[in-house]
């Protein structure tokens, strides 16, 4: 397809000197494989676009393709066998290390910072969005040739630790909150409600509730944070223990999600010894101004941001923003990136505007490199979540519920399935993660089970099911057909498949339904590139649904294993099955979703 695109572009460039050639994808394979919108060229040449496209259709000649003028568009439509050759060749013949849709190394470095949960506040469904969007962005950038560093700006420092220390020292020894006593360190507690982290969280919520009626408690919490920042031994000991139990639980969740980071050590606390030098740099640059009650701020009015950036409180303690500034300066030194993506909710838009503006003032190197990719909040049907009030949806509850709902469906539809537990986990996860990706990244999403788990809509399980169905056809086909769709162990974002020679005769996939499937498969590289461009997984999720849907049309209308099929027909159709299975598996994998062989 790349070669054909190139020929088409060259021919157009020859016919239209001085015009910039950009090609699009037609709406359907019926219309063609590539489209040239004539508007801009027509304007430049003082012609009517409809007339220009008709003229071009007559002058351009490309072997194996017809040129069709469709209104103001000039469409290039491949002959069925040429299309099959181009798409199947691209998917099946590529070397294992450079799969379909990937690109060679481009020498650019990208930091993707994602997940970043707060210790003592537990992992909620909101963090799932950051985690899985970030994971998909990291995978995709790497697939497209970027060198990717995956960071987690763990919330392991800040005033909430003052609250936690105050709450813990007040109540922790009241029996039911005795964290240190009855926790088995070797095994995660069977009931997650009773993990130390959950109890810490309860203490946190209780403190905020009681503080409403007793404002003195606020000073108590502040006092503890000051002690912590000043290096008080008891405060440090407890902090480091809180951190340890949290990390243990977070790690369990990351393992379950199949997500990993280059380091978990560079959380907020990591920058502690860099705060003084950071403040000094701000001071030297003449950016610091005295704010309310001795606080230190940076004015950003000159760059259109009316709220100043607070970097130090009146009591001398650091804040979230200070640590983000220190982190950015550190990342420049340690990683020297081209792009740094912050996958963080829309509620922090102002925060990142401020941080980026301060960095621009401090060092022009940062200009254009920093990018906040906000995502919408996850809402309960009842309203907004608040950690302080305790009405949050916990990620693990969501994953567990998804698994149980899928298990019930399997029990009803396919009770014979082996490894039912494993399948339920993989499908439940697919449902939740895919639902998230199908939703526009920035809009808030309301989490309702019916929509997440629907196995017949635009869902993860629908795409996973298409894959499993292909695998079952390939198993029935015998020989080593199923092995041809079997992958090696993924390396980074790549699911490796052995290159496969195309059948000599591709007549068998000339039918319109097979052609429609080939057309959707041809759309995958664009969709993958769009994930990196738009910093959201939605285009890939949508394209995978389109592939799964057209597979279903193909399967119904082009019998694959019918006894009356000539061997060449059968082989061509099976090759299309293998290509589809490979593409679906790789695509889902980029999103952090597995494709089971049976379901």
Question: Which residues of this chain interact with ligand ARG, rule CB under 6 A?
Answer: 113, 116-118, 153, 155, 324, 342, 344
Query: Please, are residues 103 and 144 in contact by the beta-carbon 8 Å criterion?
Result: yes
Supply φ then ψ for residue 149, to 5 degrees.
-115, 130
Query: Please, are residues 431 and 459 in contact by the beta-carbon 8 Å criterion?
Result: yes
Residue 345 Cβ, how far from ligand ARG at the closest point, in Å? 7
Nearest CB to ligand ARG, comparing residues 92 and 138: 138
Q: Is 316 helix (H, G, I), strand (E, B) or coil?
A: coil
Q: What is the signed CA dihedral for 507, 510, 514, 520, rounded to 10 degrees?
A: 110
Nearest CB to ligand ARG, comparing residues 268 and 520: 268
Spell out the long-range contacts of 195-198 with Cβ–Cβ below 8 A and sequence spacing 24 or more: 195/245, 195/249, 196/245, 197/120, 197/122, 197/245, 197/246, 197/249, 198/122
Q: Is 62 helix (H, G, I), strand (E, B) or coil?
A: coil
Helices marked H in 363-499: 395-413, 420-438, 449-453, 460-477, 481-484
- Residue partners of 69: CB distance under 8 A and separation at least 6: 50, 53, 54, 56, 57, 75
Q: In the complex, which residue's CB is closest to ligand ARG?
A: 155
Nearest CB to ligand ARG, comparing residues 219 and 347: 347
Q: What is the DSSP string of 304-363?
A: T--SPEEEE-TTS-B-HHHHHHHHHHHHHHHH--SEEEE--BGGGHHHHHHHHHHHHHH-
DSSP-derived letter for residue 109 is: E
Nearest CB to ligand ARG, comparing residues 123 and 171: 123
Residue 265 Cβ, how far from ligand ARG at the closest point, in Å? 15
DSSP-derived letter for residue 75 is: E
Nearest CB to ligand ARG, comparing residues 117 and 460: 117
Q: How far apart are CA 248 and CA 429, in angstroms?
A: 21
Nearest CB to ligand ARG, comparing residues 160 and 586: 160
- The β-bridge partners of 70 are 73
Residue 156 Cβ, how far from ligand ARG at the closest point, in Å? 9
Residue 344 Cβ, how far from ligand ARG at the closest point, in Å? 4
Nearest CB to ligand ARG, comparing residues 153 and 469: 153
Query: Please, are residues 393 and 378 in contact by the beta-carbon 8 Å criterion?
Result: yes
Supply φ then ψ for residue 110, to 5 degrees.
-125, 130
Residue 114 Cβ, how far from ligand ARG at the closest point, in Å? 8
Nearest CB to ligand ARG, comparing residues 113 and 396: 113
Q: Is 318 helix (H, G, I), strand (E, B) or coil?
A: strand
Residue 348 Cβ, how far from ligand ARG at the closest point, in Å? 7
Nearest CB to ligand ARG, comparing residues 198 and 330: 330
Dihedral class, residue 166 (left if φ above 0, else alpha if ψ from -120 to 50, else beta): alpha
Nearest CB to ligand ARG, comparing residues 270 and 481: 270
Residue 153 Cβ, how far from ligand ARG at the closest point, in Å? 4
Residue 485 Cβ, how far from ligand ARG at the closest point, in Å? 39
Residue 218 Cβ, how far from ligand ARG at the closest point, in Å? 21
Residue 119 Cβ, how far from ligand ARG at the closest point, in Å? 9
């Amino acid at each position: 397809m790349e070669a054909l695109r190139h020929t088409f572009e060259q021919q157009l460039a020859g016919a239209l000197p001085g015009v910039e050639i950009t090609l699009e994808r037609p709406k359907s394979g019926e219309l063609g494989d590539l489209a040239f919108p004539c508007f801009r060229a027509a304007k430049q040449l003082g012609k009517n676009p409809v007339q220009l496209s008709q003229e071009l259709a007559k002058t351009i000649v490309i072997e194996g393709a017809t040129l069709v003028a469709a209104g103001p568009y000039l469409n290039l439509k491949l002959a069925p066998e040429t299309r099959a050759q181009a798409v199947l060749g691209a998917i099946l013949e590529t070397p294992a290390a450079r799969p379909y849709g990937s690109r060679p190394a481009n020498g650019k470095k990208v930091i993707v910072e994602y997940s970043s949960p707060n210790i003592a506040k537990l992992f909620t469904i909101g963090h799932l969005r950051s985690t899985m969007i970030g994971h998909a962005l990291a995978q995709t950038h790497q697939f497209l040739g970027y060198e990717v560093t995956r960071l987690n700006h763990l919330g392991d420092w800040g005033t909430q630790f003052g609250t936690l220390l105050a709450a813990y020292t007040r109540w922790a020894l009241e029996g039911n909150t005795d964290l240190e006593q009855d926790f088995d360190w070797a095994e995660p507690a069977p009931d997650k409600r009773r993990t130390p982290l959950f109890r810490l969280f309860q203490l946190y919520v209780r403190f905020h509730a009681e503080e409403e009626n007793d404002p003195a408690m606020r000073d108590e919490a502040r006092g503890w944070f000051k002690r912590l920042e000043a290096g008080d031994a008891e405060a440090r000991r407890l902090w480091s223990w809180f951190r340890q139990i949290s990390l243990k639980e977070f790690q369990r969740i990351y393992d379950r999600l199949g997500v990993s980071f280059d380091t978990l050590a560079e959380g907020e606390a990591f920058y502690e010894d860099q705060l003084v030098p950071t403040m000094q740099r701000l001071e030297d640059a003449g950016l610091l101004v005295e704010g309310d009650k001795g606080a230190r701020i940076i004015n950003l009015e000159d760059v259109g941001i009316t709220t100043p950036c607070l970097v130090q409180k009146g009591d001398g303690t650091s804040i979230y923003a200070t640590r983000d500034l220190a982190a950015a300066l550190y990342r420049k030194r340690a990683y020297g990136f081209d792009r740094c993506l912050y996958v963080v909710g829309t509620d922090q838009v102002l925060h990142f505007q401020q941080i980026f503006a301060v960095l621009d003032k401090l060092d022009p190197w940062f200009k254009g490199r920093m990018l906040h990719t906000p995502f919408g909040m996850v809402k309960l049907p009842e309203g907004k979540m608040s950690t302080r009030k305790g009405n949050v949806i916990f990620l693990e509850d969501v994953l567990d519920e998804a698994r149980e709902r899928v298990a019930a469906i399997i029990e009803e539809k396919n009770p014979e399935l082996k490894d039912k537990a494993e399948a339920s986990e993989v499908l439940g996860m697919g449902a939740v993660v895919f639902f998230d990706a199908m939703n526009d990244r920035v809009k808030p999403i309301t989490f309702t089970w019916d929509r997440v788990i629907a196995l017949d809509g635009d869902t993860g399980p629908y795409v996973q099911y298409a894959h499993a169905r292909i695998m079952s056809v390939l198993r029935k086909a015998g020989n080593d057909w199923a092995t041809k769709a079997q992958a090696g162990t993924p390396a980074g974002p790549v699911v490796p498949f052995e290159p496969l020679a195309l059948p000599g005769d591709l007549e068998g996939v000339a039918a319109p339904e097979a052609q429609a499937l080939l057309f959707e498969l041809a759309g995958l590289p664009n969709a993958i590139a769009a994930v990196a461009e738009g910093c959201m997984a939605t285009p890939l999720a949508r394209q995978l649904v389109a592939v799964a849907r057209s597979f279903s049309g193909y399967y119904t209308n082009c019998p694959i294993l019918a006894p009356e099929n000539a061997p060449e027909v059968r082989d061509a159709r099976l090759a299309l099955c293998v290509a589809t299975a490979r593409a679906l598996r790789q695509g889902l994998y980029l999103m952090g979703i597995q494709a089971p062989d049976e379901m």
